[in-house]
Amino acid sequence: MNTLQKSNLTEDILSSFPLAKFGEANDSRKQAVIDLKSLGLPSNKTEEYRFTPITKHLEKNISWENRISWSDLNSIDNFLIPGLDANVLVFINGSYSEKFSKIISPKEQLEITTLGSAFLSKDVFLNQHFNTLVNSENDSFASLNTAFWQEGLYLKIPDTTRVEKPVFLLHINDASQEQIIAHTRLLISIGVASEFTLIEKFDSVGSNPIFHTFTEEIIVKDNASLEYYKIQNDKGTSQVCNTAIHQADSSKVNAYTLTMAGQIIRNNFNIAIDGKNCESHFNGLYILNGNTIADNHTVVDHKQPNSYSNELYKGIMDDNSKGVFNGKIYVRPQAQKTNAFQSNRNILVSDTATIDTKPQLEIWADDVKCSHGCTTGQLDEEALFYLQSRGISKQSAQAMLLYAFAADVIEPMKNEQVKGYFDTLISERLQKNF
């Protein structure tokens, strides 16, 4: 990684935290500080952040001297998903809020502890796995999060357990008084042959700047399955999400990332397929307008033979928005008989919207099936005319075509409430009001 920006900003950030209470995970925090010092923050010369000027955005908008973070929020009702019956775990300004959270699953299905107390009780699994999946030594924002996470949760699903109610993780940053810098952390272990659904949503109140880093490590054990949904639809947020998923033998992951609003959003979504006969489907949809920048960097790393991965990311960019997609597929030498597919399709609605897309396949095994494709274009004029020639207004025809393009991504979703919610958000954004 290029280190041009090792300058003042990194120093400012590091010196803003000396008084932070390093209660737990001190070794990994200290190491992360060292990593961050040596990495610096990414500049426009840093390959992995070439198109996404987060550092500039931070320099311009965030002050590192003032770290007050308090909130007098009295209700979270506006941020819930209608009809969703779930365990609601709420983070306010990066810290877990027991007051707003509501746990409905029995302890036998779902163990929830704060990371802090799990470290204090010297949980063996935690000590073995924490910070092992995420790439703190290579990514500045992952190391920033590892160094300074304020609070986090450790979710443990025992073996052979179907967690009936999903977990809905709601991050609210309250910037009504002051700017917010928040670092949240999550570790999840899904037991052998267990089933779990995770839904994440990010919101804010107030108009002061927000910078949020969120790092999650999810371990999916043998025969287990994970259904994962992420909704980023908050205008005020600037965010770096690091999601690292580890799959063991015969496990399944279906993941959906919906990005619709934000100042600058970066998702590092990494799946390590470290087992045989695994299946991973990961879909992304970014529908952007205004000046939003949304960058999805994905990695699927096939480390074992006979697994299948399928990635579908689609984007619709309007106004001055900017989409970035980078999809890496690694197939290691021992991962024979791998099937890995990737597709990235984009529609630019305005002349000033942009997309930078880059598929990156690195294949060391010889007996594999891999394909990738990416397209970027405008709406199909012929299809538009066809619909208009039936009496449909141009605006409706456009909405209809864009909606059809987008809906494809959410079609396989299993959770009906979340799917319905996604569908509503997409319809509203695309003005499909018929």
Partner 1 sequence: MLSIKNLQAKIEDKEILKGINLQINAGEVHAIMGPNGSGKSTLASVLAGREEYEVTGGEVTFMGKNLMELDPEVRAREGIFMAFQYPVEIPGVSTINFMKTALNQIRVHRGQQPMDAVAFLGLMKEKMKLVEIDQSLLSRSLNEGFSGGEKKRNEIFQMAMLEPKLAILDETDSGLDIDALRIVANGVNKLRSQNNATIVVTHYQRLLDYIVPDFVHVLYKGRIVKSGTKELALELEAKGYDWIKNEVAVA
Residue 398 beta carbon to partner 1: minimum distance, rounded to whole angstroms: 12
Sign of the four-CA dihedral 176, 238, 316, 280: negative
Instruction: State which residue, 218 or 425, has the beta carbon closest to partner 1.
Output: 425
Annotate each residue in 208-237 with x if it binds partner 1 (CB under 8 A) or - if it does not, as one string.
------------------------------
Residues 390, 395, 400, 404: what is their CA dihedral angle, to the nearest 10 degrees? 140
For position 407 contacting partner 1 by CB under 8 A, the verdict is yes
d(CA 128, CA 425): 40
For position 433 contacting partner 1 by CB under 8 A, the verdict is no
Instruction: State which residue, 111 or 408, has the beta carbon closest to partner 1.
Output: 408
Kindly tell me which residue out of 135, 343, 396, 417 binds partner 1, with binding defined by CB under 8 A.
396
Residue 400 beta carbon to partner 1: minimum distance, rounded to whole angstroms: 6
Residue 85 beta carbon to partner 1: minimum distance, rounded to whole angstroms: 28
Instruction: State which residue, 146 or 398, has the beta carbon closest to partner 1.
Output: 398
For partner 1, the binding residues in 5-64 under the rule CB under 8 A are none
d(CA 378, CA 14): 45
Determine the 3-state secondary structure of 183 from DSSP: strand
- Alpha-carbon distances, residue 350 vs 355, 356, 407 (angstroms): 12, 15, 20
> Residues for the chain: how many in total?
434
Phi/psi of residue 384, nearest 5 degrees: -60, -45
Instruction: State which residue, 190 or 312, has the beta carbon closest to partner 1.
Output: 312
Residue 48 beta carbon to partner 1: minimum distance, rounded to whole angstroms: 33
Residue 386 beta carbon to partner 1: minimum distance, rounded to whole angstroms: 5
* DSSP letter, residue 217: E
| DSSP line for 79-99 | GSPTT---EEEEEETTEEEEE
Kindly tell me which residue out of 99, 291, 404, 414 binds partner 1, with binding defined by CB under 8 A.
404
Distant-in-sequence contacts of 34-38, Cβ < 8 A, 24+ apart: 35/136, 35/137, 35/143, 35/146, 35/147, 36/10, 36/140, 36/143, 36/144, 36/147, 37/6, 37/10, 38/3, 38/6
Residue 395 beta carbon to partner 1: minimum distance, rounded to whole angstroms: 10
For position 434 contacting partner 1 by CB under 8 A, the verdict is yes
d(CA 161, CA 155): 13
Coarse DSSP helix, strand, coil percentages of the chain, rounded to the nearest 5 percent? 20, 40, 35
Site size toward partner 1, by CB under 8 A: 23
Residue 348 beta carbon to partner 1: minimum distance, rounded to whole angstroms: 19
d(CA 340, CA 299): 12
For position 122 contacting partner 1 by CB under 8 A, the verdict is no
Q: Which is nearest to 243 in space by CA: 230, 252, 225, 258?
A: 230
How far is Cα of residue 300 from the mean position of the Cα atoms in its chain? 14
Instruction: State which residue, 320 or 343, has the beta carbon closest to partner 1.
Output: 343
Dig out the tokens for 351 from the structure. 């002349």
Instruction: State which residue, 60 or 390, has the beta carbon closest to partner 1.
Output: 390
Residue 402 beta carbon to partner 1: minimum distance, rounded to whole angstroms: 10
Instruction: State which residue, 299 or 387, has the beta carbon closest to partner 1.
Output: 387
Considering only 140-148, 161-169, 210-218, 397-405, which stretch makes contact with partner 1 by CB under 8 A?
A: 397-405
Residue 58 beta carbon to partner 1: minimum distance, rounded to whole angstroms: 39
Residue 431 beta carbon to partner 1: minimum distance, rounded to whole angstroms: 13
- Helices 394-410, 381-388: crossing angle, 10 deg rounding: 120
Q: Which is nearest to 315 in space by CA: 345, 351, 290?
A: 345
Whose tokens are 């396949």? That residue is 361
For position 403 contacting partner 1 by CB under 8 A, the verdict is yes
For partner 1, the binding residues in 361-390 under the rule CB under 8 A are 380, 382-383, 385-390
Kindly tell me which residue out of 126, 169, 288, 401 binds partner 1, with binding defined by CB under 8 A.
401
Considering only 72-80, 274-282, 342-350, 396-404, which stretch makes contact with partner 1 by CB under 8 A?
A: 396-404
Instruction: State which residue, 80 or 407, has the beta carbon closest to partner 1.
Output: 407
Residue 285 beta carbon to partner 1: minimum distance, rounded to whole angstroms: 13
Q: Which residues bind partner 1 (CB under 8 A)?
A: 380, 382-383, 385-394, 396-397, 400-401, 403-405, 407-408, 434
